[in-house]
Amino acid sequence: MTNIDREKIFIDKVSEKKTIVAIAGLGYVGLPLALSFAEAGYQVLGLDVDGEKVKKIGRRESYIGHVSKNRLKDAAALFSATTDFKLAGEADAVIICVPTPLTANRDPDLSFVRGTLESLLPHLKEGQLLSLESTTYPGTTTEILRPPLEARGLIPGKNYFLVYSPEREDPANPDFRTQTIPKVLGGATPACARAGLALYGKIIARMVPVSSPEAAELTKLLENIYRAVNIGLVNELKLVADGMGLDIHEVINAAATKPFGFTPFYPGPGIGGHCIPVDPFYLTWKARAYGIHTRFIELAGEINSGMPRHVTEKLAGALNERGMPLKGAKILLLGMAYKKNVEDMRESPSLEVLKILLDRGADVSYSDPHVPELPPTRRGSYNLTSEPLTPENLEGFDAVMMLTNHKAFDRELILRHSKLLVDTRGAFPAGPNVVKA
């Protein structure tokens, strides 16, 4: 069979919706993607090492807040999940959506990608498409995925298709969903790119092809480094504004009225989520191989990573002005998730604030409608459950700190009944009991 024949067969199957799509990794990226393919009429097989996730999918229960159980129920006829990776051999396309965290030394940790590939490798076959969506450094697709496949006789563009197409999920953003977010894709060869565009183009409104997997990998890093650097800028400006007695949120909102040349970013207690705190280190690590020191990116990282300590110092100072030490003070933290209106706590700065306060002897509780119990994290295990927000409960704390401005928080109630309110998100107006941090 010729290369052209394989490409035509693959694209024809896609067009006729006879393609079976396997998604390896059913987390915040993989599950919405799997549902999107099922909703478009494709048979989807979910693969995950977490048996509990697989069981919940079988029961049509959602374990991600912004993914409704109705979507799972509606997709039941076309979407199933398993821990048995050998079933990947039945698929026409295999998409890898697994985490890419950092090591303890803040170097790229590709163990999930490598482990997933190792599980898939014995079952991959000619004519399939393999796509990596995990955020990573330029060269991963070519250097990590391609060689073991070639060792098995699978040559990209000749007898299978290899692409990199980074995820662009923004959990709980009501304005965008998987299908409406433009998707970047780079193929190992032109034929690989055409096959990938044909597949993803059936569920994504706009595809954005680039020249190579490396270009697509760097595109994803640029998107998140852009955010990390600009957040670092406004966090530094917040420190300056604090020193001048100015409200940085007032300044940003005024600047945002300029209709060109300015994009507003907002400060906070730090940065969280899987992407922004992690992705810059993937590029700085790779850049060192080329003798390049990414000083600008690393400086932004230093500023952002210092914000949890800055806001705790603001809290300590505010308590001290009221004649109370931080040690022994009863503190209520509002919001443990890394961003508003989600349950995701990955790399949340709230966890770092919690650790700092506990280390300094404070009596700390939290309230988060999206996180009823605080699970063990890499920073430690805390036997804490979410506190109800009642007038009596709020009045029992020496200080309340707003860390994640969930929509569900009753701001009027919090403002009225907090003895001291430390606001790290610009969520409250100035007042006698409000300290901006």
Nearby residues of 47 by Cβ (< 8 Å), 6 or more positions away: 22, 23, 24, 25, 26, 81, 82, 83, 84, 85, 87, 88
User: For 306-316, b where at least 16 C-beta lie within 10 A, e where not — what string?
Assistant: ebbebbbebbb
- Secondary structure class of 416 (helix, strand, coil): helix
Give me the amino acid identity at 302. E
For residue 22, give the DSSP letter: E
Nearest to 403 by CA among 316, 327, 345, 326: 345
Q: Which residue is catalytic, options 94, 275, 351, 399?
A: 275
Nearest to 307 by CA among 347, 264, 348, 268: 268
Residue indicated by tokens 């048979």: 43
Of the CA atoms within 13 Å of residue 314, those in its CB half-sphere come to 26
42 backbone dihedrals φ, ψ, rounded to 5°: -100, 145
116 in Cβ contact with 24 (< 8 Å):
yes
User: For 3-39, b where at least 16 C-beta lie within 10 A, e where not — what string?
Assistant: eeebbeebbebbeeeebbbbbbbbbbbbbbbbbbbbb
User: For 78-98, b where at least 16 C-beta lie within 10 A, e where not — what string?
Assistant: bbbbbeebeebeebbbbbbbb
Note if 275 is an active site residue. yes
Task: Please state, in angstroms and rounded to a whole number, the distance separating the CA atoms of residues 142 and 156.
Answer: 10
- Secondary structure class of 390 (helix, strand, coil): coil
Please give the positions annotated as active site: 275
